[in-house]
Each structure stands twice: as structure tokens, then as C-alpha cells.
Structure 1
Amino acid sequence: MKLAEYLARRRRARVAAVMLFALIMGFVSAAPPVVTGCQAQDLTPAPDTSMLSPAVSALAQEQQEPAAQPLPEKWVCLTFDDGPSKTTPDVLSALNAAGVHATFFVVATGYNEKYLPLLTEAVSAGHQIALHSASHEYSDIYRSSDAYWEDIALLKERIAPYVDAESIRYLRFPGGSTNTVSRRYGGKGLMKQLKAEVEQKGWHWVDWNVCAEDAVGGHPSADTIYRNVVRETGQQTNCIVLMHDSATTRTTAEALPDIIRWYADNGYTFLTVAEALPIG
């Protein structure tokens, strides 16, 4: 082999190696997709990353544009779905005792009507109220875009006596933004349409990247819920934790003091979703 040809091959190899390294680093540095591991029967096994959740989008934007008030390096949002219920007072008690504010993605099914006044108490204590569903019946809310927004309108109507429902601009889709159950009723493209419509309103839809797995069958113990949260947090520095304050998840309230203590001991700042993902 001639020396010139040998040197040319070496140069090409070095260029290829540099390009491969850059590609790998770009992938590793990218914001992680939101993990949707709860209630797997209703969620997409591989999350749809073609449209990242507001949590991930906000983190990416933060890296590109300096914020007026930058977020802490490590932060966590404790979020609770499917309340208020008989479990909610214990959840509020644990949060208030620790001086921690959380976000509640609420329902108003008719079965929990007597607990709706707890929303006023939660707001007074500094917690955030966000939208989840009036019925939480997949077959009803995911029939079409119109059916989904009718459900949201009914939810707002039912909680309006207790909170300023019209000012709420954050929501969580039942089953998460990558659920597959919606396809049975509204077709494969429904979730993409709904996410686009939420964003057109200037709202945020919010998933999670840590799941307590407290709503699975078998009623997990408080210790199991605690371990699930710690395990799924891993090395993540920005976390949105999915928990529940439904009538069947009383052990979540029992686990909450230990969960709060663990995040505090590991240097996390507690934020509401609105604080972590502000709407401009």
C-alpha cells in the first residue's frame, strides 16, 4: 500500500470516528423520553417520542434559552391522579406537614362529589389543581375529539364551585399521552390530534417520568410504593412523579412522608407542575 493511500485512509477513519462520537454524545445528551410504565395495559409499551411531553420540551428549551429565573439543578413534582377522595385528606396532611406543594390532576365522576370541597382546601394550602377527567371512562372520553373536550368541559363545570376552573391550563390524559386504549374507540390518530389541540389552546399536557405503581392490582404496600419511586427516580435530576389519591390507594398516603424525606435528603427542590413548566 502506498504511503499517500495509507494516510488518506487514516484521515477518513479519524473523521468517521469523530462523527460517530458526536452522534453518540448527541443521543446521550438528548432529554430522556417520559416513561409511562403505570397501568401498562392501557399505555404504549414504547412511548411516542415524535412529540415530546411538555416536561421534556421545557427541559430542552431551558438548555437553549437562559431563563429569567432558572430552575434548581434537581427538582421534583409530586403529582396525584384520580382524586379527590377519602384518601386526599391524608395526602394533604403529609404534604402540609412537610411544607411541600404538589399538583392534583382531579376527576369529578359523581362518585366523589362529596370530596370536591377538598379542592378549595388544597388551593388554600398552595397546591396546584389540574384537569384529568370527569368520568375517566376510556370508552366515553376517547370516542372522538369532541367527546374528550365535552368531558373536560363537564369536569370544569363540576369543580367550578370550589376552584377557579377557567384559569386551569394544565391537564393529564387518562392513561397518559401515549396510551393505546384510545385507539379502540377514536382511532390511532386521536392522541396526536388531542395533544395538538391542547397545545393550540396554549395549555400544557403533562406526563411523568417516575411512576409509583400504586394503582396496580394487589394494593401494594407503602414500602413497595416507596421503593418503586426511589428505583424509578434513579439518577434523574428532574422528576415528575405519578401517584394517586383515589379511594383505593390509601397506602400512597402512608408512603408519602418517606418519599418526601428521600427527595429532600437527596437535594431535590419540590415544585408544582406550574412552577416547573410555566406557561409563558
Structure 2
Amino acid sequence: MVSWLRANGKILFRGAALLLAGAAAGFGLGLFFAVPAGPGCQESDLTPVPDTGFASPAPEAAPASSLPQEEPVPEKWVCLTFDDGPSKTTPAVLDVLNAAGVKATFFVVATGYNEKYLPLIADAAAAGHQIALHSASHEYSDIYQSADAYWQDIELLKERISPYVNTASLHYLRFPGGSTNTVSRRYGGRGVMAELKQQCAEKGYAYVDWNVCAEDAVGGKPSAGTIYRNVVRETGKQTQCIVLMHDSATTRTTAEALPDIIQWYRDQGFTFCRVEQVLPAP
């Protein structure tokens, strides 16, 4: 499991596999620095004041000699992640990714409103993209009433998408609002997120936040050019990036921005990875 620790204004991500033998040049597979998402992400993702509580600590790492050998992770990597799909915009996103030979990670929902698009999950998986869990309802007032309510939502999500993907193989999730959201306190109290983060490890999940936000789900329907500039700005000098984007029904311009985003990362020497390739499994 992973732990997120706030340090010097950033969140230090440490994986249980920090000592993997394949890591080189000072880069540990489980080491990941993530900064809180910028103001543009607050409307749809983070609440204004991030939670400063710690997640559960990572389990004691096994000796390096006993860990399985894996290919080293590139020094510069980026994970393109998409929330809130599949939807009518997902085919356009998949077309761009597949044409560019880029593999991404999709944190899917199954709200009932997107039922006819759920078969696209099978298409994404068949193309080599990673499928991960987001929410069945995405209704904060429902899923954050209690820890039990959240896990019931996850089980419902798995049930709804089970015809299209092997749900037993899904071990990564993203909390609606991220692990630092505070809106959950309105419904489940101040401790509900800390409880959920601790239970992730117990239930065999790793939760995933982000350190680059495309701000594509904010009000006003940003243009493709604005989304591209947001990604470039928030990436800055970071060399290990998890980018938050959306393939929901209202984020049509994300697919339009995607070719330029992919080309920019390539020009900067980044390698595209799925989340499961760079963050240790639970």
C-alpha cells in the first residue's frame, strides 16, 4: 500500500517497494512527489482546504533481495489519467491515445446515466489501457456518509462493470475529490477519509491522487488551448507526473487538447506509463 505524507508543502508518496533492485540513478519505484491540485481543480475535484491528515503508513518493506525483479522505471515519466467515464467523449479520447501509441489509466464510473457506454471499458482494456475504480454514483452525500457506504459504492461499481473487465484484477482506485478532500466531512465527519485510506491497504487497494490538473472539468468549458496550457504550467519542472483529466460527457475539448499534450510530453523526454507501472501494487 502507499502512504501520502505532507512535507514542505508537498505530499510525499512512498510505495512499499521503495527498495526495488531495478531502480537506478537515485530513483525508487515507489517514490512520487505530488503537490496539491491548483485552484482550477477545486470545483470538480478538490475542496478548498486540503486535508492534512496522514494516510496509513506503508508496510515494512521486504529486503531488496527478496523482491521480484522488475524493469527499471524511466527517470521521467507521465501517467495520463481520465476520470468520470466512459461517456460519449471516451471514443475520441481512445482514438487519440491509440493513434499515438500511448497507454493511459481510466478511473471509471457506472452511474446509470452512462450505462450504454460501459462496453467502452472492454475496448479500453483490450487496447492496453488500465482500468481503475472511481465510483458507482459519484454522489458525495451518499458515498461519504460512512466508510461502509463508500465500500458499498465500490462493490456496486464492480458489479456494474463486471461484464466488461475482470474486476478481481482491479487494485487501484481514486477517491472522488481525491484523498485530501474535505467535502466528505459534511457527511461522514472529519475522520472518514483517514478511515478510508487506512482501509484501502486492508482491502487490497492502492489509492491514486495527482500532481498535474488539466482543469478540464471546471465551469465555462475551457478550450483545448487552455487545457493544454494548464497541463504545461502545472507540470513545470516535475519529472514524475500523474495528470488528472476527464472523459465525461461534458469534457469534449479534452480529446481536442490531447494530441498537443502528448506531443509536448514527448518533446520533453517523458515516457508514458500506466499508473500500475510506476506505483507499487497494494
Give the equivalent residue in structure 2 for 1:78.
80
Deviation at 1:33, TM superposition (A): 4.0
Alignment map for 1:1-280 (pairs within 5 Å) = 31=12, 32-37=33-38, 38-41=40-43, 43-45=46-48, 47-51=50-54, 68-279=70-281
Q: Deviations over 1:74-117 (max 9, x none)?
A: 00000000000000000000000000000000000000000000
Letter of the aligned partner of 1:121 in structure 2? D
Letter in 1 for 2:76: K
Structure 1 alignment gaps of length 5 or more: 1-25
Note the aligned Cα RMSD (angstroms). 2.6
What whole-Å deviation, never above 9, does each CA across 1:241-268 have from its counterpart, x for those lacking one?
0000000000000000000000011000
Q: Cα distance 1:28–1:49, how it changes in 2: closer, same or farther (>3 A)?
A: closer
Contact 2:9 2:35 in 1 (8 A): no
Q: 1:29 & 1:247 partners in 2: Cα distance?
A: 32
SS in 1 for 2:234: helix
Instruction: Tell me which moved more, 198-207 or 133-142.
Output: 198-207
Relative to 1, partners in 2 of residues 1:272 and 1:140: Cα closer, same or farther, differing over 3 Å?
same
Partner Cα separation in structure 1 for residue 180 and residue 11 of structure 2: 19
C-alpha spacing 1:125/1:215, structure 2 compared with 1 (3 Å): same
- Where structure 2 has 5 or more consecutive residues not aligned to the other structure, the ranges are 1-6, 13-32
Post-superposition shift, 1:275?
0.6
Distance 1:184 1:28 in 2: 25
On the 8 A contact 2:56/2:198 being kept in 1, the answer is no
Spell out, residue by residue over 1:209-260, the C-alpha distance to the aligned partner (whole angstroms, 9 max, x if none): 0000000000000000000000000000000000000000000000000000
- Please state whether the residue corresponding to 1:235 is helix, strand or coil: coil
Q: Is the 8 A contact 2:50 2:182 kept in 1?
A: no
Which segments of structure 1 move beyond 2 Å, counting only runs of 4 or more? 26-34, 36-39, 41-54, 64-70
Q: Residue in 2 aligned with 1:14? A: none
Query: How big is each residue's C-alpha offset from its partner over 1:23-67, in whole Å with a ceiling of 9 and x where there is no partner?
Result: xxx96999444323354256354544543699xx8xxx9xx9997
Gap change, CA 1:70 and 1:258, over 3 Å in 2: same
Distance 1:101 1:149 in 2: 28
Q: What SS does structure 1 have at the residue aligned with 2:84?
A: strand
User: For 1:227, what is the secondary structure of its paired residue?
Assistant: helix
Task: Letter of the 1:135 partner, please give it.
Answer: S
Which residue of 2 is the match for residue 21 of structure 1? none
Is the contact made by 1:79 and 1:102 (CA closer than 8 Å) also made in structure 2?
yes
With over 3 angstroms needed to count, the CA separation of the structure-2 counterparts of 1:30 and 1:225, relative to structure 1, is closer
2:85–2:107 Cα contact (<8 Å) kept: yes
Larger-gyration structure (1/2): 1
Shift of residue 203, structure 1, vs aligned partner: 1.5
TM-score, normalization by structure 1: 0.82
Aligned-residue identity in percent: 71
Is the alpha carbon distance of 1:225 and 1:175 closer, same or farther for their aligned partners in structure 2, counting shifts above 3 Å?
same
What SS does structure 2 have at the residue aligned with 1:97? helix
